[in-house]
Amino acid sequence: MTDSADNQTLDYSKTLNLPQTDFPMRAGLPKKEPELVARWQEMDLYRKLRDDAKDRPRYVLHDGPPYANGNIHIGHALNKILKDVITRSFQMRGYDSNYVPGWDCHGLPIEWKIEEQYRAKGKNKDEVPVNEFRKECRDFADHWIKVQSEEFKRLGIEGDFDNPYTTMNFHAESRIAGELLKFAMSGQLYRGSKPVMWSVVERTALAEAEVEYQEYESDTIWVKFPVAEFDEEKFHRIRDRKTTELEKRFEVGEGAYAEQAGHVTEDMLDVVAQLRDASILIWTTTPWTIPGNRAVAFAKLNIAYSLYEVAEAENDFGPQPGEKVVIADRLADGCAEKAKLKLNRLAKVDNILLECLTLAHPLKGLAGGYEFDVPLLVGSHVTEDAGTGFVHTAPGHGREDFDVWMERAPLLAARGIDTMIPFTVDDAGYFTKDAPGFGPDREGGPARVIDDKGKKGDANKVVIEALIAADRLFARSRLKHEYPHSWRSKKPVIFRNTPQWFVHMDMDLGDDTTLRSRALKAIDDTRFVPAGGQTRLRAMIEDRPDWVLSRQRAWGVPICVFADEDGNVLKDEAVNARILEAFEEEGADAWFAEGAKERFLGNEHDPAKWTQVTDILDVWFDSGSTHAFTLEDRPDLKWPADVYLEGSDQHRGWFHSSLLESCGTRGRAPYDTVITHGFTMAEDGKKMSKSLGNNVTPQDVMKDSGADILRLWVMNTDYWEDQRLGKAILQTNIDAYRKMRNTIRWMLGTLAHDEGESVEYADMPELEKYILHRLWELDNVVNNGYEAFDFKKISRQVHDFMVLELSAFYFDIRKDALYCDAPSSKRRKAALQVVHHIFDRVVTWLAPMLPFTMEEAWLSRYPDAVSVHLEQFRKCPPEWRNDDLGSKWKKVRQVRRTVTGALEIERKEKRIGSSLEAAPFVHVTDDALRAAIEDVDMAEISITSGISVSPKPGPDEAFTIPEVPGVAVVPALAKGTKCARSWRVTQDVGSDPEFPDVSARDAAALHELKALGKL
């Protein structure tokens, strides 16, 4: 476009080197990003990255596998973005940083989905051959792996998506089984037992999520447990604080109870004589669990107990006057009422006395059984809400009962008590031989707890009759309460002791270590980011019970061992080899195939003597083994990994299981560093939930704003803690993105005029040297930041650098030189060179964080380049470092601030518009500041047309700012004429007759351009 013919002046804008670029101001990421994903895919960027780095040291972040059962949510996005930034940054810092994504495929949730589909079709899972069912689970997982894979790629995640690892591919299944067999061969695997929720109707174990609570009427009974013994020595040990190590650990311990122990007095013993012919009273809603009773739990401190005597009884059966029972004071009246009698309180029974008591089983002697001692155990679950203040403890029939029992197992064993948990009920609900008098030895056959239709059997009845016959029943009643039912059959379930496979935490592994001690040592040897993770994982490992590997399930890797009657595992390498080979070829389905038992046992072992275990491995064992079949087995990775990164919930999960698996088989952790991130909350800091409508999905963000926006959010957040995400927060990041994008855009536009002429550092103006110094400083921040995984520090400092030092300072100042200077201008060439340095660094530094935008920018500058992601971070030469310049220019900027502040007043008063209309007087009385600006062209730096500096104090009315003492500014208009080309007001406008409306500098530039034929 040309000006109208009568305008005699040139359109000088055409003689300027104004920014020129196709790089759009508006990103259009939702459209642009998928194009880049396709581009990377097409050029096989992943392969190029590997080839490019093949001789570099490896850096391996091992992927914690997401579960393959649905679209990704914000947590997945956060997790993968963090991982991606780490792998990309290490790749660009000189490593071969190979990321292999993985998926967790086995387990309950997928089984449920398939079952759900069955139900919709009216099919029954139990009628489908197990391997057919497993096939459907496999296909289901496959589907979601594909979906998530695409979603991750769309987020800009770079990795080997064509060859990911999965826990269900045949090799993985074989190796997982192999890891299990290592535990078996080293004796760490053992068969124990544990109560599980069991549906008699369906003959299957149920997980907590598979039961629903419905109202149910239970028989309730109050039962007397006669006191058998009082351990006076133990009483004195407590009084004298001389308890054994075991007692200290499990009973007395430190703290409140120890405090109480200090108040133990001899007169507490007064009641003991009366206790000897008394009973402890318990209450239960499951009379059929009495044969399984092994202990009685009481409260350590908070419940007051007393000895009561029956004063009068309404009935001539049941408890009669003179009988003595111990009950919690607050519950005594209720018990008396139920038994229809009156109680007299005889004496307080101190909790410490209870600690020293041993009871007899109420059915002692029945059918020759129940001869064992029944200990009283401290239980934190005991309350005064209902019952007697004493809790009947049948470790095979309740979770808390089991926990209390197992926790005290070493102490009990020391007391000569058999800690074996009896299997009193079989899978059909019948009593077994472990319930003498009620099982097969009973006249008329075993009693039954629940029948095939889910109705109550005769178990409660016969147990209550036996208690009456033994005169141990105190009272009976019925109770309506919420009771667990199978969500499929809607029938009541029972807690039933079942055989399970465990891994010892405290078995000596032959080198004076145990799995626990090895794991604790490994935690000490691991770097945790943030550091708190170490404490958290340590606390869990210190406390945890043995590792239960069994799941009574179908979709998973089987616990592929053979056991004899006593639970001893067959240890034969030849058998193992056959199993692993078969799994490698056919997958773990081979275990469930027809004739598997004979096939694997071979000729050497009698199938009749060995039972094939059909339990499935806990999926945590699968994922705990990923290091084995991924890090060890892939030649392009390494073991151990440099880093694992997951949400903080994985202290209980993957970090934990990987640690135990690896310590059990290899003696150390499979990682050197563990990084954890927090959870993503809604904008108000509360959990996101669909029902509240405050959830943000990565799909929505990508569709509306782009993956780079989501990535920028991750970069700007403190991911070590919980983060917040919502509309306003997203907008903040969109704004920050735009600012950075525009700054890059300006550089691209400016560099369009870069002819690649390099300028030596020594030949550069000081302003350029200052910026290079800042670049050098930033280089350290960036590298240290990536090293410390502190991304917000990097993104923040790079952002602020771009905003404060480039956009608002350096670029603003240099626009005049870059736009207006002659082609030969050294100042201009130096500036171009510096912008070039800045561009290359800033764009590569940000490439791991904003891979789409930086790729777009890189290709815009270097159209022949393959990808920014194949670049390395540019080094900053040591000569760029110049601390003196750094501090000097800080001062220069202080003076500049005062000048711009003064100009703002002028602007307000409408005396100037552009700063180029001004030529202020600057009075600098501060020596340091004056020295700093002595050889600096302050007019250039302040973007004014002139400036006068004086060491004398300014007049009273001069402009000052309190932050910069010693500087006073008196504004003044620039003298001269506005140059039509550069808009600066100078006194040499018109000095060149050929270009009468421009300044001398601009006239010279025009002459040069003319000579070059560019005018």
Partner RNA sequence: GGGCUGGUAGCUCAGGUGGUUAGAGCGCACGACUGAUAAUCGUGAGGUCGGAGGUUCGAGUCCUCCUCGGCCCA
Footprint of RNA on residues 724-763 (CB under 7 A)? 724, 728-729, 732, 735-736, 738-739, 742-743, 745-746, 749
Contact 1002, 825 (CB under 8 A): no
* Residue selected from 34, 410, 823, 901 as contacting RNA according to rule CB under 7 A: 901
Stretch near RNA under the rule CB under 7 A, chosen from 422-430, 693-701, 901-909, 924-932: 901-909
CB of 906 to RNA, least distance (A): 9
Interacting residues with RNA between 259 and 278 (CB under 7 A): none
Return the number of the residue (565 or 909) whose C-beta is nearest RNA.
909
Contact 506, 516 (CB under 8 A): yes
Determine the size of the site formed for RNA (CB under 7 A): 78
Q: Can residue 18 be called a binding residue for RNA (CB under 7 A)?
A: yes
Return the number of the residue (156 or 647) whose C-beta is nearest RNA.
647
Return the number of the residue (12 or 845) whose C-beta is nearest RNA.
12
Return the number of the residue (57 or 532) whose C-beta is nearest RNA.
532
CB of 543 to RNA, least distance (A): 8
619 closest CA partner among 106, 983, 78, 116:
106
Contact 653, 621 (CB under 8 A): no
Q: Is 390 left (phi over 0), alpha (psi -120 to 50) or beta?
A: beta
CB of 854 to RNA, least distance (A): 16
* Residue selected from 130, 272, 409, 961 as contacting RNA according to rule CB under 7 A: 961
CB of 734 to RNA, least distance (A): 8
The Cα-based distances of 643 to 104, 603, 677, 829 in angstroms read: 19, 46, 13, 45
Return the number of the residue (186 or 960) whose C-beta is nearest RNA.
960
Contact 90, 786 (CB under 8 A): yes
Contact 296, 359 (CB under 8 A): yes
CB of 490 to RNA, least distance (A): 25
What are the start-end ranges of the H helices in 673-825? Answer: 698-704, 707-716, 727-751, 766-787, 791-800, 811-820
Return the number of the residue (403 or 458) whose C-beta is nearest RNA.
403
Return the number of the residue (444 or 693) whose C-beta is nearest RNA.
693
Q: Can residue 706 be called a binding residue for RNA (CB under 7 A)?
A: no
Return the number of the residue (249 or 724) whose C-beta is nearest RNA.
724
Return the number of the residue (18 or 866) whose C-beta is nearest RNA.
18
* String marking each residue 365-384 x if it binds RNA according to CB under 7 A: ---------------xx---
* Residue selected from 135, 348, 536, 605 as contacting RNA according to rule CB under 7 A: 536
Interacting residues with RNA between 427 and 466 (CB under 7 A): none
* String marking each residue 851-890 x if it binds RNA according to CB under 7 A: ----------------------------------------
Name, in order, each residue with C-beta under 8 angstroms of 747's C-beta and a sequence gap of 6 or more. 835, 838, 839, 842
The torsion angle over the Cα atoms of residues 371, 376, 380 and 381, rounded to 10 degrees, is: 50
CB of 810 to RNA, least distance (A): 9
Q: Tell me how crowded residue 236 is: count the other CB atoms within 10 A of its CB.
A: 14
What token pair was written down for 976? 């001269």
Return the number of the residue (796 or 1007) whose C-beta is nearest RNA.
796
The Cα-based distances of 516 to 164, 498, 670, 765 in angstroms read: 32, 25, 16, 64
Q: Tell me how crowded residue 493 is: count the other CB atoms within 10 A of its CB.
A: 25
Return the number of the residue (463 or 967) whose C-beta is nearest RNA.
967
Report the Cα–Cα distance between both ends of the chain, in Å, rounded. 15
CB of 1007 to RNA, least distance (A): 17
The Cα-based distances of 225 to 340, 393, 553, 908, 1010 in angstroms read: 19, 12, 39, 93, 113
* String marking each residue 782-821 x if it binds RNA according to CB under 7 A: ----------x---x--xx--xx-xxxx-xx--x---xx-
Q: Can residue 3 be called a binding residue for RNA (CB under 7 A)?
A: no
Return the number of the residue (312 or 800) whose C-beta is nearest RNA.
800
Phi, psi (deg, nearest 5) at residue 1014: -100, 15
Q: Can residue 535 be called a binding residue for RNA (CB under 7 A)?
A: yes
DSSP 8-state class, residue 161: T
CB of 181 to RNA, least distance (A): 27
CB of 979 to RNA, least distance (A): 8
Interacting residues with RNA between 634 and 693 (CB under 7 A): 647-649, 651-652, 678-679, 681, 683, 685-687
Which H or E run contains 482?
Answer: strand 473-486
> What amino acid occupies position 23?
F
Stretch near RNA under the rule CB under 7 A, chosen from 83-91, 483-491, 528-536, 564-572: 528-536
Phi, psi (deg, nearest 5) at residue 325: -135, 150
Contact 410, 244 (CB under 8 A): no
The beta-strand segments (E) located in 561-604 are: 562-563
* Residue selected from 247, 407, 586, 904 as contacting RNA according to rule CB under 7 A: 904
- Residue 129 CA, chain-centre distance (Å), reads 37
Which H or E run contains 939?
Answer: helix 938-942
* Residue selected from 981, 997, 1001, 1004 as contacting RNA according to rule CB under 7 A: 981
The C-alpha atoms of residue 683 and residue 124 are separated, in whole angstroms, by 44
CB of 998 to RNA, least distance (A): 9
Return the number of the residue (177 or 813) whose C-beta is nearest RNA.
813
The C-alpha atoms of residue 163 and residue 144 are separated, in whole angstroms, by 15
What token pair was written down for 762? 């020594």
CB of 658 to RNA, least distance (A): 15
CB of 885 to RNA, least distance (A): 20
Which H or E run contains 360?
Answer: strand 357-360
Contact 478, 219 (CB under 8 A): yes
CB of 78 to RNA, least distance (A): 11
Q: Can residue 897 be called a binding residue for RNA (CB under 7 A)?
A: yes
* Residue selected from 247, 329, 403, 672 as contacting RNA according to rule CB under 7 A: 403
What token pair was written down for 781? 């921040």
Q: Can residue 996 be called a binding residue for RNA (CB under 7 A)?
A: no
184 closest CA partner among 641, 520, 573, 463:
573
CB of 496 to RNA, least distance (A): 18
Which H or E run contains 1011?
Answer: helix 1000-1011
Return the number of the residue (626 or 982) whose C-beta is nearest RNA.
982
DSSP 228-275: EEE-HHHHHHHHTT---HHHHHHTS-STHHHHHHTT--GGGGGGHHHH
CB of 964 to RNA, least distance (A): 10
Return the number of the residue (399 or 638) whose C-beta is nearest RNA.
399
Interacting residues with RNA between 21 and 60 (CB under 7 A): 25
CB of 383 to RNA, least distance (A): 11
Q: What share of the chain is helix, strand, coil (3-state, %, to 5)?
A: 45, 15, 40
* Residue selected from 433, 886, 983, 990 as contacting RNA according to rule CB under 7 A: 983
CB of 927 to RNA, least distance (A): 19
Contact 550, 575 (CB under 8 A): no
Q: Which residues share a beta bridge with 687?
A: 681
CB of 614 to RNA, least distance (A): 25
* Residue selected from 244, 513, 699, 914 as contacting RNA according to rule CB under 7 A: 914
Return the number of the residue (509 or 980) whose C-beta is nearest RNA.
980
Return the number of the residue (456 or 656) whose C-beta is nearest RNA.
656
Return the number of the residue (532 or 951) whose C-beta is nearest RNA.
532
The C-alpha atoms of residue 856 and residue 32 are separated, in whole angstroms, by 9
Q: Can residue 907 be called a binding residue for RNA (CB under 7 A)?
A: yes
